[in-house]
Amino acid sequence: MEPNQGFGGTLWMIFFFALFASGSGENDRDFKMCGTWRHGNGLLTLAHDLKRGCGTITISANESSLSIRGEITAQCENSSVIKLDPSPEARERPFCVYWEPLLDQLWVEVNGKNHTLCWPSGLQGNCCTDLSQGENKGISTYGILNATQRDDIISYKTHPAYEFFGEIINCKNEFCDEASQGSGDKVNMIEETVMRSKVLGDVVLPCALSSVVEMEEGFQGYNITLPAPQGVPPQMIPSVHLPSCLKPPKKKKVKVVCTYFKNSILFQGCSKADQNDIRILEDVVGITVENEIITNLPEPIRIGFHHSAIPTSHSRTCVSWDTKKDPAEVTWKKEGCETIQKGVEDTECHCNHLTYFAILVQLEPGPVRHLVALTVITSMGCAASTLSCVVLIYFLNTQRRAKDQSNAVHRGLAMALFLLSLLFFLTGTVANVGGNKACWVFGAALHYALLSSFSWMFIEVFHTFWLVYMVFSPSPNPYVWHLVGFGLPAVPVIVLLAIGKVYGVIEVVSSEDVNNPYLMCWMDVSPRSVGLLAHYFINLTFLAVVVLSGLIMLFLVLRNIQNRDEWRKNKVAFLSIWGLSCLFGTTWGLGFLDFGQLSEFILFLFCILNSLQGFFLMLRFYILDRMRKQSRSSLDGSTASSTRQHMLQEKS
């Protein structure tokens, strides 16, 4: 799966927008102030100076800077200046300031781009909320116009700053029904708190379930079963196993906080409009160790998710929130987590780091239909081509004209196709047995074989052009052909190997069973990867040059020989077109036609023709050799009067 790929807005933003859209309750828990920043055309910055407390927060703007300053947070203290993208023509930018007190998170959206100033730090006991507006700060040329608070207009005029005053409240008591449950195990479990949803008017505020474990010296691991909220069966609650290696060895005591969020309606908003085929399941589990960043655990944490049955046509993958990127743009990544499927209703995630974890489900079928049939066809074709290329190389070496330049070109193509067919036949086995380390080398070798085959197909086109249109000019030395055919493809492969993280094991997902993908050694062509860029700029460029030049040369050659008597025989005409297509590699052009209603037919035709290219090439030379012998017998050994008239025989 390529699920991957990212979702718009943060997990916490989703909570905010979903709650905000529903109305307000007894307290204005969330804060949203928006407006238009009128600025100059020079360097623009976003400045902030946030401190703990609950006093005044000032949102101001001038010719070059938008600023947020004051005391509003429970844990976060942050002060910095962020450079904004230049805008030489526009003098106004829309912006919004969002504040989620329950999670101690503050972020600013400027011109459609999010900037998180305070990351979520878990559920807060006391928080600063009920922000009320103070006096407006005069009128100015540069500043904030069309200001609103929670979509209620404040002023249409341009003011340099706005002030807001907060009030400290107990967030848990105010926004959530709290039920504390003591634990008899004083060594490990020190707190288990159920934060149930509380209804305020028409608003349902989804809070969380959390457990705090204190790891002491001699910690041997711990199994946590999170407390169940109202209406949820205990067997549907995620379970968490903390390994013994989770405790930092230098600390005598350290706390682990496990937080559980459950709200399926809110989480469906995670996906962008163009990602509707992917959704996150309703359960999200966050695990943190106080004042520690935990990565690369030798023994993974285990999180058991229990969910409704997922059809086999839908893939599920354990993912974690990539906190290295802007949390305002949630990126769910699968690296660092292993997915263990324990039935259609149970999935266990083994992860070597701490963050927030969830299950992603791909609702649409995988990208490849009939993968098993295509794999069998390709494997059989590659096996036949591998053996055929061996026979063809032997045949070309034993001919009387073995040292002829045409034979040298044919031999180079046969050797490249032999290597390509052999490596492609073995790629699945190597991927399953050797893993990424073996595929790093094997994938590079397969890529080299493909580029070498394309190069030799182009050499066949150029050599044919030389024979037909430059009869009296000597052909380039065979060493030149070998340098281009075997040397040139090595350059991009060596560069990609030096870059690293390009070759490895990739998964080809079947629409029939997305949970059992076909593994092969190849380039990582996931979105935004170096391998994807290399695929477009190297592979497709080679292929486009080969197919286009092959089609042009095929047209020129056929136009040149169509008046021959032999051409009028249907069998000869067919064999000429078919044989030259094998030489020139024009059948690879079918890859550009894989779309529309005929895509499945094109895909099967592509696999059949190109996996059997080595076999067809051997068959072509066998038929032409037989036709030449029959011609010699019937004409009493007469030879062609010119290379132009008998190009096919010379090429054989």
DSSP letters for 245-266: GGS-TT-S-EEEEEEEEE-HHH
Does 1 score more than 50 pLDDT? no
For the ranges 339-353, 549-563, 634-648, the lowest mean pLDDT is seen at 634-648
The pLDDT confidence band at residue 584, using thresholds 50, 70 and 90, is low
Instruction: Select the more confidently predicted residue: 648 or 18.
Output: 648
pLDDT (0 to 100) of residue 223 = 87
Does 44 score more than 70 pLDDT? yes
Residue recorded with tokens 């079918």 = 590
Residue 538, Ramachandran bin (φ over 0: left; ψ between -120 and 50: alpha; else beta): alpha
Instruction: Select the more confidently predicted residue: 241 or 187.
Output: 241
8-state DSSP, 368 = B
8-state DSSP, 86 = P
For the ranges 138-152, 263-277, 446-460, 520-534, the lowest mean pLDDT is seen at 263-277
159, HSE (Cβ side, Cα atoms, 13 Å): 19
**8 Å CB contact between 617 and 414:** yes
The tokens describing 271, both together, are: 């996906």
Mean pLDDT along residues 543-557 = 81
For the ranges 200-209, 316-325, 531-540, the lowest mean pLDDT is seen at 200-209
CA separation for the pair 407, 470 (Å, rounded): 18
CA separation for the pair 413, 393 (Å, rounded): 10
54, HSE (Cβ side, Cα atoms, 13 Å): 16
**8 Å CB contact between 399 and 622:** no
At 472 the three-state DSSP class reads coil
Best-predicted range by mean pLDDT (171-185, 466-480, 558-572): 466-480
Cβ burial 164-191 (10 Å sphere, 16+ → b, else e)? bbbeebebbebbbbeeeeeeeeeebbee
CA separation for the pair 39, 43 (Å, rounded): 10
Best-predicted range by mean pLDDT (365-374, 485-494, 547-556): 485-494
Residue recorded with tokens 């993280």 = 501
Mean pLDDT along residues 455-473 = 78
pLDDT (0 to 100) of residue 566 = 56
Share of the chain above pLDDT 90, in %: 18
Mean pLDDT along residues 200-213 = 54
CA separation for the pair 253, 187 (Å, rounded): 10
Beta bridge partners of 194: 179, 209
Using CA atoms in the order 335, 337, 339, 342, what is the torsion angle rounded to 10 degrees? -170
**8 Å CB contact between 293 and 266:** no
Cβ burial 591-620 (10 Å sphere, 16+ → b, else e)? eeeeeeeeeeebbeebbbbbbbbbbbbbbb
CA separation for the pair 200, 269 (Å, rounded): 22
CA separation for the pair 320, 487 (Å, rounded): 43
Beta bridge partners of 522: 504
What is the total residue count of the chain? 652
pLDDT digits (tens, 9 = 90+) for 224-253: 877 766 667 777 888 899 998 888 888 888
pLDDT (0 to 100) of residue 18 = 32
**8 Å CB contact between 164 and 31:** yes
Instruction: Select the more confidently predicted residue: 87 or 566.
Output: 87
Containing 211, the helix (H) or strand (E) segment is strand 209-215
Contacting residues for 216 by C-beta, under 8 A, at least 6 apart: 187, 188, 252, 253
For residue 121, the one-letter residue type is S
Angle between helices 570-584 and 405-469 (to 10 degrees): 110
Q: Mean pLDDT, the chain, as a whole number?
A: 75
**8 Å CB contact between 158 and 144:** yes
44, HSE (Cβ side, Cα atoms, 13 Å): 23
8-state DSSP, 243 = -
Does 500 score more than 80 pLDDT? yes
Residue 634: what are its φ and ψ, rounded to 5°? -80, -30
pLDDT (0 to 100) of residue 594 = 65
What is the per-residue DSSP string for 142-209?
A: SEEEEEEETTEEEESS-BSEEEEEEEEEEHHHHHEEEEEE--S-TTTEEEEEEEEEEEETTEEE---E
Instruction: Select the more confidently predicted residue: 590 or 67.
Output: 67
Does 202 score more than 80 pLDDT? no
